[in-house]
Amino acid sequence: MSIVFNSSNFRSDRASKRRVLVAGGAGFLGSHLCDLLLREGRTVVCVDNFSTGRMENLRHLLRFDTFSYVRHDIVDPIDLPVDEIYNLACPASPPHYQADPIHTMKTNVIGSLNLLELAARYQARIFQASTSEVYGDPHVHPQPENYWGNVNSFGPRSCYDEGKRSAETLFYDFHKQHGVDIRIVRIFNTYGPRMRPDDGRVVSNFIVQALKGEDITVYGDGSQTRSFCYVDDLIEGFHRLMYSPRAIHTPVNIGNPGEFTVRELAEQIVAMTGSSSKIVYHPLPTDDPRQRRPDITLAERELGWAPSIALTEGLKSTIAYFERQLARPNAELAE
């Protein structure tokens, strides 16, 4: 199904001349991005299929007459006059993106293509939420942007990793062939309020398990590492990249270089929640990367960006968020 809008679909264009489409705006990161754009006076339309996104993440935005949303899958074409596009539409958690891997691939390839065609049609600047997963199970550590990665094209993570790599290629080609004004951020594991309790990623799993007094499920021996960025730092990085005085058309890593083993994360969350949960060990999923840490030299130099929120500080507000979520057992989970 193709969807066609005109400017009357925006409730108001008065607050800003910049009309911004946020694909995936009902998700964890997308909803924080919508907050920032609306605070700055932009007119925002969120386009989301609500597969992992939730109405709960958007409800506080409905009071803005510069905000609207539409239930739409980006795999289907869309026509909407816009000045800027952010493409965050894609399930990010392994259990969610592996639940329908063909649709994940379509979202990354056909969905990105649809949004790039829209950008070309309206000369809109377009931003892609890429991922550290383009580095796969990296042989270079930490990972700079010029590392080409070590990715399996034929496994359970491939729909996501190769889908995101293909999307980067499409962004490159639309820039070269049609002069589309692109920005690409490679996001490293980010956490914070508005993750779903059933998201399935490590920070939300461990916090929810700790708060419920359930076993903390470490996959493998827990010696694999990740670098965890708090959502506010990440969104600030998005903003600096999108609006930097000098356009950067190549991918930029945004993430927190603080690197922790998964076991350390589990122990820290148990300590911070005062939980009686035990740490238990489950099999390591196929192709789970051994290590992950961003080299953020480019972001520091070109954007003056570096994260400012340490893991303990970010975990504190994330734990408080999940405490509130779990205190409302009937809170909608689906949307």
CB atoms within 10 A of CB 244: 15
Told to check if 202 binds ligand UDP by CB under 6 A, we report yes
Task: Provide the minimum distance between the beta carbon of 146 and ligand UDP in the complex, in angstroms, as a whole number.
Answer: 21
Task: Provide the minimum distance between the beta carbon of 255 and ligand UDP in the complex, in angstroms, as a whole number.
Answer: 11
Report the distance separating Cα 191 and Cα 202, nearest Å.
9
CB atoms within 10 A of CB 286: 9
Binding residues among 122-151 for ligand UDP as defined by CB under 6 A: none
Report the distance separating Cα 326 and Cα 335, nearest Å.
16
User: Can you say whether the dihedral through the CA atoms of 124, 106, 54, 265 is positive or negative?
Assistant: negative
Report the distance separating Cα 239 and Cα 219, nearest Å.
34
| CB nearer ligand NAD, residue 61 or residue 129 | 129
Residue type, 138: P
Give catalytic status of residue 160 as yes or no: yes
Told to check if 131 binds ligand NAD by CB under 6 A, we report yes
Out of 226, 236, 253, 296, name the contact with ligand UDP by CB under 6 A: 226
Out of 43, 104, 190, 224, name the contact with ligand UDP by CB under 6 A: 224
H/E stretch holding 44 reads: strand 43-48
Task: Give whole-number Cα distances, 314 to 35, 41, 107, 267, in Å.
Answer: 18, 27, 30, 16
Told to check if 156 binds ligand UDP by CB under 6 A, we report no
Asked if residue 203 lies in contact with residue 191, where contact means CB atoms within 8 angstroms, the answer is yes
Task: Give the strand pairing for 225-227 and 259-261.
Answer: antiparallel
Told to check if 51 binds ligand NAD by CB under 6 A, we report yes
Binding residues among 73-112 for ligand UDP as defined by CB under 6 A: 93-94
Told to check if 48 binds ligand NAD by CB under 6 A, we report yes
Q: Which stretch binds ligand UDP (CB under 6 A): 38-46, 71-79, 140-148, 214-222?
A: 214-222
Q: Which stretch binds ligand NAD (CB under 6 A): 71-79, 142-150, 207-215, 263-271?
A: 71-79
CB atoms within 10 A of CB 113: 19
Asked if residue 88 lies in contact with residue 22, where contact means CB atoms within 8 angstroms, the answer is yes
Told to check if 116 binds ligand NAD by CB under 6 A, we report no
Task: Provide the minimum distance between the beta carbon of 15 and ligand NAD in the complex, in angstroms, as a whole number.
Answer: 24
What's the token pair of residue 35? 């907050």
Task: Provide the minimum distance between the beta carbon of 14 and ligand NAD in the complex, in angstroms, as a whole number.
Answer: 27
Report the distance separating Cα 180 and Cα 177, nearest Å.
8
What's the token pair of residue 275? 């939980």
Q: 85 in helix, strand or coil?
A: strand
What's the token pair of residue 266? 């589990």
Residue of 135, 160, 191, 230 marked catalytic = 160
Out of 79, 214, 285, 317, name the contact with ligand UDP by CB under 6 A: 285
User: Under rule CB under 6 A, how many of the chain's residues touch ligand NAD?
Assistant: 28
**Chosen from ligand NAD, ligand UDP, none, partner binding at 218 (C-beta under 5 to 8 Å by type):** ligand UDP
* Active site amino acids: 160
Which residues contribute to the site for ligand NAD (CB under 6 A)?
23-24, 26-30, 48-53, 73-75, 88-92, 107, 111, 129, 131, 187, 189-190
Which residues contribute to the site for ligand UDP (CB under 6 A)?
93-94, 189, 201-202, 205, 217-219, 224, 226, 262, 285, 288
